[in-house]
A = this chain, B = another copy of it.
Amino acid sequence: MNYSYIKVEHSGLIGTIRFDHYIKRNALSEPLIEEMEDALLEFGQQDIRVVVLRSDSKQQVWSSGHDVLELPKSERDPLPASDPVMRLMQVVRAFRAPVIAMVDGTVWGASTDLIMSCDMAIGDHDSTFAITPAKLGLPYTASGILHFMSRMPLHVVKEMFLTAEPIGADRAVQVGILNHLVAASELESKTYEIAKTIALRSPQANSAFKAQAQVLADSASLNPLVFEYLQSLRRDVFLGSDYREGISAFLEKRQPQFTQAKK
């Protein structure tokens, strides 16, 4: 298969996907996502025991998140379950073999959620992680928030969402985003050393384990009334002034001026 936004390799029992669209800072645009889905589909038919997800070359930005141009300007839920980014999380989470993120730059927005949807993450000292819907006035999904809550203390999850500020590499390893923090020069060798270890283990047991852990991590129980209430809160936001302002300001490259949440 031919890829334009990513590079795909298969060596031994290890598959590698490299983001290769730095002109858009490796944003999770719909075409890039479709290629990732194709690559994982292809890997699924091969004897791949583990996948490494990385940027093609070390740059300032590892991946810039959701392509804001693809978001609705207003009035529509910007993150329905059918959104390509939401779908990508599910594809990565449902992939039968583990996926390791190898991070050597800044990670933004939905790309940070993608890190949470990988099974492990290894980073160097330039890796940072920010989740930025509060900058856009965008109401995030409950399932996405839960990805963070299963990995970090709640106080830290709240700090990340409420401030929208990046977490640096040192703190990322301390709070549980990164499994390992290594020097840039050793990032690749450390990552593939772990990948090789995983490739020696039982792929059948690992596949069942991954499915079980995923189900358990997703299992927060809400009743319909509660969920419909949360959805109405989200709806107030995406129909409201902050979301319109947040998207406009982003596109106009200026600071947004947000207003008070009523009531």
Contact = CB atoms under 8 A, between A and B. Distances in A.
A76 B227 CA distance: 18
Given A201-B135, A204-B261, A80 B224 contact: no
A119 B230 contact: no
A149 B202 contact: no
Interface string A133-174: 111111111110110011111111111011111000000001
A104 interface: no
A183 interface: no
A204 B240 contact: yes
A149 B230 contact: no
Interface string A225-263: 111111111111100111101100000000110111101
Given A156-B176, A209-B134, A142 B222 contact: no
A151 B58 CA distance: 34
B205 A230 contact: no
Nearest to A147: B154
Nearest to A176: B153
A69 interface: no
Contacts of A205: 133-134, 136-140, 237, 242-243, 246
Given A201-B163, A204-B137, A152 B149 contact: no
A167 to B, nearest CB: 10
A216 B137 CA distance: 21
A237 to B, nearest CB: 5
Contacts of A207: 233, 237, 261, 263
A97 B263 CA distance: 10
Contacts of A202: 133-138, 237, 242-243, 245-246, 256, 258
Chain copies in the assembly? Answer: 6
A164 B194 CA distance: 11
A6 B226 CA distance: 30
Contacts of A197: 163-165
A203 B242 contact: yes
A261 B211 contact: no
A47 interface: yes
7 contacts: A44-B263, A80-B235, A81-B228, A141-B228, A161-B213, A203-B259, A208-B234
Q: Which 9 A-B pairs have the closest CB atoms?
A: A153-B176, A137-B202, A134-B201, A81-B232, A142-B224, A221-B221, A204-B242, A143-B224, A202-B242
